[in-house]
Chains A and B, each alone.
Chain A
Amino acid sequence: MNKITKISIVVFALSSMFVFSSCERDDEQNLDERNWQLVWSDEFDESKGSLPDSTNWNFELGNGDNGWGNAELQSYTNDTANIRMDGNGHLQIVAIKNGTSYTSARITTKGKFEQKLGRIEASIKLPYGPGIWPAFWMLGSNIDSVSWPACGEIDIMEYRGQQPDIVHGSLHGPGYSGGNPVTKSYGLTQGRFDTDFHLFAVEWDEEKIDFFVDDYLFQRVYSDDVSGDWVYNQPFYLLLNVAVGGNFVGFPTSDTPFPQTMTVDYVRVYNEIR
């Protein structure tokens, strides 16, 4: 009798531990420890109403060819109505509706800061509404010589304003681009990406790229997972933009609230110290 009791206590203790731990640590991941050293960042600490630091960022202006290749509707400007510091340590990119047309902003670090491998992250509060398409992404620096998609594209974060609880991480390269990228989605349970800041990141080494939301790994792509060439062995530059309408997102409706603001707390880039 004694013996039986003892065993059942042990079993009970084990099962309660199991229940307890599975409740508490549902989404814990065991990832390799890696050491990161900050090599570049923009904290967007400039005064209210100023434009992004021109030593870090370029503007891309206008409507692009065929709506930047995606049938996007907006015209990009460098007007402080569309892009500015909020004076509280954030960059704001604002999509505005003017009658039947839209303005917004798109900035890149092309030629100013380019990065091969490492961890690239940004803390962002997203806009919302049907047809709103914000992105934090990278393009291969050799885009002018080999063109897209041979240069490669790393979409650290893309999002459709009509699905404010879901973000997407994708790779576009030769043989897997446009409507056929390597991609995966991450959804919040009982939450939205536009009501608070979230951390979007990739960790990129020679053999793979990991995609994170709030330090949760939701997609790992190895070099042999892609159907075409692995082109992520050269420097890439960073982009931040808010598009309105386009092939990925569909089009805004009369119900889409405007203006819509993407608020970026910081962009930081790290090298791995081995």
Chain B
Amino acid sequence: MKTKRNITLNWLILAIFTAAFSISCERELDELKPVSYPIMPEVFIDDFSSGLNYAAFGGSVPTAFDVDKEVAYDNSEASMRFDVPDANDPAGAYAGGVFFTSVGRDLSVFDALTFYIKASQPATIDVLGFGNDLGESKFQTSINGVTVNTSWKKVIIPLPDPKKLTAERGMLFYSEGPENGLGYTFWIDEVKFEKLGTIAYPRFTIQNGNNDNQSSFVGVSMQISGLSSIFNMPNGIDQSVNISTAYFDFATSDETIATVDENGKVVIVGGPGTAKITASINGEEALGSLTIQSKGAFISAPTPISLPADVISIFSDAYPNIAVNYYNGYWAPYQTTQSADFEVNGDHILYYTNFNFVGIEFSSPTQDASSMTHLHLDVYVPSNLTSDAQFKLELVDFGTGGTGSYVTSIPAASSQQWVSFDIPLSSFSGLTNRAKLAQLIFSTTSTGFTGFYADNIYLYR
């Protein structure tokens, strides 16, 4: 009986092997699927889950995190403890770091990262999230301003599109500074991915939810911005969630006019014509769009004719440029001007959008323009001006020269074409000396003048 049984068992094993082999023999190439990663919900329950590592952010206190065996949620064995430093702690300015795995995990079956949190005092934690893998962090997702107190509470961070999280390595990250200059301690426990089914009404935006229009040229590229998301949480409250560009699926209405890649980079490839860029996440259409009005081939500004020896070039492809600190100082708090500089066929163009004022600084070193006589500037207003636009230029001398200003206008009839200015430096009233020129400032008081391209900005004689 015993022998017989063994024989049968052997036959059985053989049969299993045969079955396995015959299955693998029948498998065809097109049935092979991409490498699949383990489905593992636990991040930190009572200890590091399999393959989990920790790294502190640069500038943070490297020892801020520790495993705590005294304090834990629901009297479990251990929790994660985070010691936020006092202000001016020589060890680091804040507590922050990443819990990541070396091998990706498949999170596509879950819809939220959840954990319990409490602190030694009421506090507002700056950032909590996942998807930071210390590398590309393609699917970084976080919430800001998480209020905590001395009782455990559950934090839920939605997975914006679980289908995309098939190989995620960033399990949890955090960043928190002192509260009113003082450090404190918070604890996190029972960190895991869950399928809740009770997160509803995802709402996404691009371009801050606006339907923006932009006229441009073949070869110009631009970036979709103003991304946001809101989810209704299991307690019926809306939660804003910071999500990365990679969650969005971008689409163009006409790829012969403009293309858009997975990072939201738009490239105008044809025209004249119109293409509307839209986006969705997990089939949910995002609010907002960017409509590109391509004007066709880019017309460059006139090529400068001054000799290089007679020029101090601030911004031009025709001359070597001096050292420039910045082309947009983003001067707080009143500046609204943004930059959307672009390049077409090797021709670099400054593009100031949402224009009220903006400064270019070249103070390291300052420029001695004592021997120069004029300022040259080519300006192109891409929108259709309905009335002449006031345009003010200021030159600032960091020595004894003070600030000189010059006011001119851009005729409405000259919009959507290059306008060249050659302004005598003597016309900048108030500029008494130009031995240490350091800034050029543009501004306007005309509300219709919302932006312009600039090229070939130089001083010459």
Contacts and interface: CB of A to CB of B under 8 A. Distances in A.
Question: Do A and B actually bind?
Answer: yes
Interface of A: 1, 128-130, 132, 161-165, 188-192, 194-195, 253, 255-257
Interface in B1-37: 1, 4-5, 8
Contacts of A194: 200
B198 A190 contact: yes
Given A190-B195, A191-B197, A195-B200, A256 B236 contact: yes
B200 A128 contact: yes
The 9 tightest CB contacts between A and B, nearest first, are A190-B197, A129-B236, A255-B237, A128-B236, A162-B236, A161-B236, A195-B200, A162-B235, A165-B198
25 contacts: A1-B4, A1-B8, A128-B236, A129-B237, A130-B235, A130-B237, A161-B236, A162-B235, A163-B235, A163-B236, A164-B198, A164-B200, A164-B236, A165-B234, A188-B197, A189-B197, A190-B197, A191-B198, A192-B198, A192-B200, A195-B201, A256-B236, A256-B237, A257-B232, A257-B238
A139 B311 CA distance: 91
Interface string B309-346: 00000000000000000000000000000000000000
B182 interface: no
Contact of B238 (A163, A188, A195, A255): A255
A161 to B, nearest CB: 5
B284 to A, nearest CB: 13
B108 to A, nearest CB: 15
Nearest to B239: A255
A263 to B, nearest CB: 14
A257 B201 CA distance: 12
Contacts of B413: none
Interface residues of B, number: 16
B146 interface: no
B412 interface: no
B198 A1 contact: no
Contact of A128 (B5, B8, B232): B232
B103 interface: no
Contacts of B235: 130, 162-163
Interface in B219-255: 232, 234-238
Contacts of A1: 1, 4-5, 8
Nearest to B194: A190
A1 B2 CA distance: 10
Interface of B: 1, 4-5, 8, 195-198, 200-201, 232, 234-238
A2 to B, nearest CB: 11
A187 to B, nearest CB: 10
A106 B195 CA distance: 36
A190 B196 contact: yes
B2 to A, nearest CB: 11
Nearest to A165: B198
A233 B1 CA distance: 73
Nearest to B5: A1
B75 to A, nearest CB: 26
A159 B234 CA distance: 14
Contacts of B196: 190
Contacts of B198: 164-165, 190-192
B236 A130 contact: yes
A164 B236 CA distance: 7
Contacts of B234: 164-165, 192
Nearest to A5: B8
Nearest to A188: B197
A164 B231 CA distance: 14
A244 B4 CA distance: 76
A129 B236 CA distance: 4
Given A190-B195, A195-B200, A132 B5 contact: no
Nearest to B232: A128
Given A128-B200, A257-B238, 14 more contacts: A1-B5, A130-B235, A132-B236, A163-B236, A164-B198, A164-B236, A189-B197, A190-B198, A191-B197, A195-B201, A253-B237, A255-B237, A256-B236, A257-B236
Contacts of B200: 128, 164, 192, 194-195
A267 B2 CA distance: 70
Contacts of B238: 255, 257
A71 to B, nearest CB: 20
Nearest to B1: A1
A205 to B, nearest CB: 35
A242 to B, nearest CB: 14
Contacts of A192: 197-198, 200, 234
B12 to A, nearest CB: 11
Contacts of A129: 236-237
Contacts of B201: 195
B216 to A, nearest CB: 38
A259 to B, nearest CB: 14
B52 to A, nearest CB: 26
